[in-house]
Amino acid sequence: MECRFIFVSLILAGVLSVYLVNGYPIHASCKIQWNFPSVSCASFNKSIVSQIQKWESADNCANGGEKCLYKVTTQSVSIIKATHQTPVKHYVDDLTFTMKSSGSGCDVDGFSTSETWYAYLDYSTNYCNLNNLITGAGLNATQGYKETTSDDVCTQYSSRNCDKY
């Protein structure tokens, strides 16, 4: 029992030291804030749900990307919850889009987190889970679009590669 305690303590110390050095979240996840001054929240909601539905099947996985295996779990006027399953290892990430009207536009908080309890580094998968939907729906090309995130709140954001993930 004592060896197990020492082993777990060493693992936790290692994770904590990586966290302190890199400044990543303590669990693989990503928080993003978006401003869409020219897109209403109703339009944003419709666009994201439509994009998720387009990428529900494994069809887009065939080319090596991860623009597939999304699923809406709940939807309301102000919140969309979904999941994304990685095509190779079948890890599941939970996604949340929280919308708030801002004038004629919409401010959105996005969050993606791994369901795998021990996930720490994710090769920016949680960022790409969210970003791929925004770009797939063309929302990043809307007038006044702005995205705000950083390594502090988004695991491995600075090394992201959404062509792969």
Q: Domains in the chain, please, with CATH?
A: 27-159 (3.30.530.20)
Instruction: Say what the pLDDT of residue 7 is.
Output: 61
Task: Please report, as a single letter, which amino acid is at residue 74.
Answer: T
pLDDT of residue 29: 94
pLDDT of residue 6: 67
**Measured distance CA(130)–CA(136) in Å, rounded:** 10
Predicted pLDDT at 62: 79
pLDDT at 30: 96
pLDDT of amino acid 119: 78
- What pLDDT, on the 0 to 100 scale, is given for residue 137? 98
Q: What is the mean pLDDT for each group of 10 consecutive residues in the chain (165 residues)?
A: 61 51 72 98 98 94 87 98 94 97 97 88 92 97 98 94 85
Q: Which of 65, 66, 75 is nearest to 93 (CA)?
A: 66
pLDDT at residue 61 in the model: 85
Helical residues (DSSP H) of the chain, grouped into ranges: 2-22, 41-54, 125-136
